[in-house]
Amino acid sequence: MSAGAKPGTLYVVATPIGNLEDITYRAARVLGEVALIACEDTRHSQKLLVHYGIRRPVISLYRENEAQRAGELVSRMEAGEDVALITDAGAPTLSDPGARLVERAVAAGLRVTPLPGPSAPVAALMASGSDAPATFAGFLPSRTGERQRWLQGWRARGSGNLVVFEAPHRLLAALADMAEVLGPERRLVVARELTKLHEEFIRGTVAEVQQRFAAQAPQGEFTLVVLAADPAAQQAAARARADQDLAPGMSRDELKRLARATGMGKSELYRRMQQLRGKIKD
C-alpha cells in the first residue's frame, strides 16, 4: 500500500436482470463515483452505463481471467482506488464471476461492500406464492446421470423450495429428470425472461410443464422454482413408486438403488418386498 494512501473499497453491485429501470439510486451513484468498474462483459455493461450517463473506466473480469485480474484489482484498491464489480445481470458471485476477487480483497484486509438489488432467484421466489425455506443451486449438472444424482441428494436432505437456472436447450432434459426423481406431479413455477418485455410464469406440475415445452420450444432465460412438497404427499408418492418398481427377489444392490431413488429406507423396502411375496401381511 502506498505510504499515506487510504485503501479503496470493493463495491459488489447488483445490476438489472432485464428492465434497466430496476437499478437502485445507490448503485447508479456508486458506479458514477468509483475509479474503475470491473464487468463480466464490457460491451454488455456499456449499454447500462450509457443509459444512465455513467462515464467511468471499465475492465473485463470473467471466469477465465478472474485469477489474474483479481491480483491487479486488489493492488489498485490497496493504492487507494475504489472498484465496482458488476456482472451481465443480477448479483455478482451468484452463478456469475466475482467470488475469487471478493476472496482476495477480504484476504488483503480491504473493505467489501455489497449493494443489493435485482436478483433472478429472489424475483422468481417472490412470484412463486410459496414462503417455504429455499435452496438456490445455480445451474444443475448438465449430464443426466449427474443431474439425477444431485436431485436425489437434494430430495434426501429435506424439504423446501429449490431454485435453479436452466438453459433453454437443456430445459426439457432437466424436467424429465425432475419427473423421474421428484415425481411428475411435483409442482413448480417456471419464470421466463424475468423483468423483460416477454416475462412469463408457467405454473403447474412437472408433467404439465413438460407438455407445454414439448409443444413449444423453450426460448429465453429460465429460473425454476421447484415447490416444497407436502410431506404426506411426498411419502405417499415414494411408497407408490416403490410398489411400482419393487419385484420379488430383488438383490441388495437393486434395493439400495431403489432406496436412493425413492428416499425410503432399505429395511422398509425389504419389508414391502416381503409383503409382495406374501410372507407377511400389512
Task: Classify domain 121-229 by CATH number.
Answer: 3.30.950.10
Backbone φ and ψ of 170, nearest 5°: -110, 0
CATH class of 9-117: alpha beta
Identify each DSSP E strand in the chain by its residue range: 9-13, 36-39, 58-60, 83-86, 111-115, 134-139, 161-166, 187-192, 200-205, 222-226
Give me the residue spans of the domains in the chain.
9-117, 121-229, 232-277
Average pLDDT for 159-186: 95
* pLDDT tens per residue, range 204-248: 999 999 999 999 999 999 999 999 987 666 566 666 666 777 776
The pTM of this model reads: 0.80
Tens of pLDDT, residue by residue over 130-170, are 999 999 999 999 999 999 999 999 988 867 999 999 999 99
